[in-house]
Amino acid sequence: MNIGGASGASGVSQRMIRHYEKIGLIPSAARRDSGYRDYSEADVHRLRFIANARNLGFPIEEIRQLLCLWSDRDRASSEVKMLAESRAADLGRKADALNAMREALLDLAKGCHGNERPECPILARLAS
């Protein structure tokens, strides 16, 4: 199938398919006589794998590791579990940081009267 078909079947944009090909996450697609890329079902399956990993917050280098583990039938599942737990811990730290920022903003907003006067503790805090 062409890149549009692969994009539709995998849910990955054409731009990202080209990017993944460029950085080696997917092999270079075969070319038709017309020069258009030609993707197989295996390519689409790999693209779905990448999309699912991205949706779970895995960065490109960890996706590269996961792809290697996925294709290695002799691998230990403990390696995959370790990557997943590490990613979950990282996401937890990021969630905590985002929640702290949210709470700080809500606290600042609580102190702002939100009226016609120019005094604003939010702007004062940002300027300090």
Q: What is the DSSP letter of 117?
A: S
Reference 61, options 94, 87, 28, 98; nearest CA is 87
Do 82 and 126 fall within a single domain? yes
Tally the domains of the chain: 2
90 in a domain, yes or no?
yes
Cβ partners under 8 Å of residue 128, min gap 6: none
Do 88 and 115 fall within a single domain? yes
Domain that holds residue 81: 76-128
**How confident is the prediction along the chain (128 residues), in pLDDT tens digits per residue?**
999 999 999 999 999 999 999 999 999 888 888 888 899 999 999 999 999 999 999 999 999 999 999 999 999 999 999 999 999 999 999 999 999 999 999 999 998 888 888 888 899 888 98
